[in-house]
């Protein structure tokens, strides 16, 4: 397995609507394994393929608490889609590997059912609540070109993006 480079906003790949995976190949399975390795290396709880410059409908998630270096229990989802969501919204202060040092309060349904294809090709469903529900929605947003700051009002979005751009410029100076 390999750690892949993360692409950061404003990279255009993050705004693309991703392509459906029509066949599970060894390349797709290797990419999913590499995405898991990358997610763990970055101490993330989720990662979508466009974040590693692959515009395909693939995500990996693992919200279980674990120590760095310990094996996790990742879920690999191919062509995930939310098929049911609760009416009850809760707010979570979300971060994103493609938006370093940015945190945004996002209101999302607190439970969802997601249909996806597993690595064996079978259609599966997962009913998720709490953090897993939020993580799945966040990563599926990536597959549709949606980023966390898109949930903000235009005024708040401009403030957050100016701060992000300033931080990225300073990080580049180091």
Q: Is residue 152 part of a domain?
A: yes
Q: What is the pLDDT of residue 137?
A: 98
pLDDT value of residue 70: 74
Q: Which domain holds residue 79?
A: 12-173
Give a yes or no: residue 116 inside a domain.
yes
Chain segment 50-109, per-residue pLDDT in tens: 999 999 999 999 999 776 667 789 999 999 999 999 999 999 999 999 999 899 999 999
Judge whether 139 counts as a catalytic residue. Answer: yes
Q: For the CA atoms of the chain, what is the radius of gyration?
A: 16
Confidence of residue 3 (pLDDT cuts 50, 70, 90): very high
Q: For residue range 7-58, list pLDDT tens digits in order.
A: 999 999 999 999 999 999 999 999 999 999 999 999 999 999 999 999 999 9
CATH value at residue 19: 3.90.45.10
First-to-final CA distance of the chain: 29
Is residue 110 included in any domain, yes or no? yes
Where is pLDDT greater, at 13 or 167?
13
Flag whether 1 is in a domain.
Answer: no
- Evaluate if residue 172 carries a pLDDT over 70: no
Whether residue 4 lies inside any domain: the answer is no
Q: pLDDT at position 173, please?
A: 59
In a domain, residue 3? The reply is: no
Is 89 a member of any domain?
yes
Length of the chain: 174
Quick check: is 42 in a domain?
A: yes
Helix (H) or strand (E) holding 109: strand 99-109
Structural domain total, the chain? 1
Full-model pTM? 0.94
DSSP 8-class letter at 19:
B
């Amino acid at each position: 397995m390999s750690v892949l480079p993360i692409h950061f906003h404003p990279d255009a790949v993050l705004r693309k609507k991703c392509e459906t995976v029509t066949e599970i190949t060894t390349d797709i399975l290797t990419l999913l394994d590499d995405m898991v390795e990358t997610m763990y290396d970055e101490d993330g709880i989720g990662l979508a393929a466009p974040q590693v410059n692959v515009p395909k409908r693939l995500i990996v998630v693992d919200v279980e608490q674990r120590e760095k270096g310990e094996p996790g229990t990742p879920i690999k989802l191919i062509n995930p889609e939310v098929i049911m969501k609760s009416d009850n919204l809760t707010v979570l202060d979300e971060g994103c590997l493609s938006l370093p040092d940015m945190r945004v309060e996002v209101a999302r349904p607190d439970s969802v059912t997601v249909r996806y294809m597993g690595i064996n090709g079978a259609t599966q469903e997962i009913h998720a609540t709490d953090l897993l529900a939020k993580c799945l929605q966040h990563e599926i947003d990536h597959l549709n070109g949606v980023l966390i700051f898109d949930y903000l009002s235009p005024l708040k979005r401009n403030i957050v993006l100016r701060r992000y751009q300033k931080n990225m410029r300073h990080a580049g100076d180091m």
